[in-house]
Chains A and B, each alone.
Chain A
Amino acid sequence: MTIQSAEEEIDRTLGKRIISFARSPLFQGDAQVLHPPNPYRRMLVPDALAEGDFDRPPAAGEWAAHRSLSAHRLLGTFYEADTVLLPEQGLAPLHADFDLFYGSELRELRESSVSALERFAFACLDDAVDVSGAATPEVLDAYFQHVVAEAENGPSPALAAIAAARDRESAADLYLVQLALDGLTEASAMSRNLAGAYGPEQSALFKIFIDEFGYGVYDAKHTTIFAKMLRSRAMATHVHAYWNFYLAGPLATNNYYYYLSRDHAKFFRYAGAVTYAEAVFAPAFVEMVKVFRDIFGDNVDLHYCDEHAHIDEHHGRITREEVLLALAARHGPRVVPELMRGVAEARLIGGWFEDDTAAQIRWSDDLPRHRDLAGTVRLGPEPRRVALTPDSPFGTRSHDDSMVLEVERGEAELITTPTGPPERLARGDAVLIPAGRLYGVRSTAAACDYLLHAVTPDG
């Protein structure tokens, strides 16, 4: 078998492999909206996953497709299975889950599908970014400085959406949850680039790592101060309480750094990406502090943001001078396009994080209008019927196209944010779910049926 056809063979069975992975008892969810303090359990919504065509990667403009959400949930789970996750309260009651999560059966499924799943999940970047022309360290730095300045000056769409929301507290919490994906396991991807022998640039990266890990002091570790910020909002702090609310864009952003760190052929791309990220963090956290103080006053612990507004000034400088430009100087023009590609991809995927979060905030903050809109659109024939009981496992999903959700029997709660009040839907109520928006439904009657109507394009 040639390499080409071997790869095709793996690709053809990708859908099957990931569905058998997602069918593991660990990934079936339970009736609760939040996940319990058990890092091994996370709802992968296998039935919705099975709808996706895993032979057709989402293209550059299709990042909001449902199969993109499914793929990134899986990929995030794969990557985290390569890190050490232990529950704070001790493993004693969860040992069987630990064995299953890290066990050979799931590991074989992960190992045999991770490369194909990465190609699927990140194919959109191949089309979206192209670096051409003479690549010199000067070109690299000029491009880098330009995009960083642009990010510093541009407003954050997600923070702007929070500031403009009617329910700013729920909007702010939704944003915190998107940060939690990385915040609760911070710098895990970075740790994969520390091993090996690559000169002073390796030591420069390690200096950053020392800061991320709080100089060996648990209370100063960035994950610890992130948890402190959540706690100040009376939110859960375990990995991953809010799994059901991670949006595709933030999942993809988090996965992206693992993706570059798993395969060291992409090391220079990683260096470009991490340099971009460190450079834009400091001003972003300054802006976040303003928005959050405005909403919560002193009732939120923003040490995490202050820490990053300060230390990422240093990380931005260290990565640019001692990693990005130093690698370009040492290894020559051949690595420059990859460094630039990393910068460009990190910027693109960071934009997806922002846009997805902003869109979710705006939609969940404006459900009454989406109830009205549900009555104005034209619906396709043959809606899908979904039956729920109060014991049905709770999961969230999105759709490739706009849908109208209509309660046919019983009553339900539509859940679109981690902490906001659920939207009560009585029999006959309908709401428009725009393409790509994340939602879950919980039955509040002994039985509830709802219909999902496709919206016809001219509707």
Chain B
Amino acid sequence: MARVIVMDLSRHNTVLVGHDRYFVLHTEGRALLVLDRCPHRGGPLSLARRTPDGRRLSCPWHGTKVGVAAVKRTSLPMVRSGDEAVVVLPDGDDEGGEPISVIRKEVLANLPPDAPCAAESAGEAAGAVGAGEVARR
């Protein structure tokens, strides 16, 4: 029997399932629960910023730009009614033995590309150059 959890989207935005972490990504007016793991080396995509066109997430670790379309493909089955979301979790290794928790953490990936956030300062300019370098390669 698949495991199901219910989360309140007004209070929580992250689900931990064993070693995996999912976060709520807002895209095209919908909320999706997507894997918080960069395909390059596992960097936290929830802390990525959007590229100026809004279509990709720039990973905070090495600047890989991951298309939102690709991130969407990692999303878990979820039914939202108002702020209540019912999530169907993937089968665990050992019959539901993995610990599950629902939390709220900082998610930068939902900010508009140019919005400042608390952690931002002079370093941002340099970061933007870095992302450009990757795109050129």
Chain A residues in contact with chain B, CB under 8 A? 199-201, 203-204, 207, 210-211, 215, 311, 314, 317-318, 321-322, 325-326, 329-330
Contact = CB atoms under 8 A, between A and B. Distances in A.
B121 to A, nearest CB: 6
Nearest to B128: A321
Contacts of B125: 329
A90 to B, nearest CB: 28
B118 to A, nearest CB: 12
A330 B126 CA distance: 11
A200 B123 contact: yes
Given A329-B122, A330-B122, A314 B127 contact: no
B42 A215 contact: yes
A311 B40 CA distance: 11
Contacts of A321: 126-127, 129-130, 133
A201 B134 CA distance: 19
Interface stretch (B26-34, B55-63, B72-80): B55-63
Interface of B: 41-42, 60-63, 119, 121-127, 129-130, 133-134
A199 B63 CA distance: 19
A210 B41 CA distance: 10
B122 A326 contact: yes
Contacts of A201: 123
A199 B122 CA distance: 9
16 contacts: A199-B121, A199-B122, A200-B124, A204-B123, A207-B60, A207-B62, A211-B61, A215-B41, A317-B63, A321-B126, A322-B123, A322-B126, A325-B126, A326-B122, A329-B125, A329-B126
B126 A326 contact: yes
A408 to B, nearest CB: 60
A211 B122 contact: no
Given A207-B60, A314-B63, A322 B130 contact: yes
A200 B41 contact: no
Given A200-B121, A211-B41, A318-B62, 5 more contacts: A200-B119, A317-B130, A321-B129, A326-B122, A330-B122
B35 to A, nearest CB: 16
Contacts of B127: 321-322
B14 to A, nearest CB: 19
Nearest to A315: B62
A200 B124 CA distance: 9
Nearest to B133: A317
A200 B61 contact: no
A332 to B, nearest CB: 12
Nearest to A215: B42
